[in-house]
Amino acid sequence: MMMMPRRRNEFDLLEDMFRIDPFFSEEGSKIMKTDIKEKKDKYLLEIDLPGYEKEDIKIHIEDGYLNIHAKTNSKNDEKEDGKFVRKERYYGECSRSFYIGDNISEDEIHASFKNGTLKLEIPKKDTKKELPEKKYIEISD
């Protein structure tokens, strides 16, 4: 039996180029890529949300966590002529959470959204925790 190379057409080549699904594979689990910069008095977060609108994004604080949720829908209002050979635009939702502590409120955080990038300014606050007294466990014979 002789092994023949697989015959490729232009769509196979495209498939190889885009083998990694950027939204559902382990290697592509980088949706909502985030940069966090520490300044003297605040933290700056920049989160990539390409394809989303400002109205698609919800931000809230719960139990000391800053939660960011973004949702976008497919716009299939118009009847399309033809069929897709490949469709890579993402329609769905995603979210991230960051622990910021219990002493920061929503009105202390400044958020802006421009060109697919969400920018957040979060103030730094001292969170001095008292260490609990050491308690020893007695070892029995």
pLDDT in tens, 59-97: 999 998 999 999 987 655 455 677 878 877 767 888 999
Domain 19-74+88-123 coded CATH 3.40.50.720 = no
Taking a C-beta distance cutoff of 8 angstroms, is the pair 91, 70 a contact?
no
When mean pLDDT is compared across 24-28, 79-83, 134-138, the lowest value belongs to 24-28
Amino acid letter, 87: K
- pLDDT tier for residue 136 given thresholds of 50, 70 and 90: confident
User: Which residue type occupies 80?
Assistant: E
Res. 25 pLDDT band, cuts 50 70 90:
very low
Positions of E strands within 15-99: 34-38, 42-48, 57-62, 65-72, 92-99
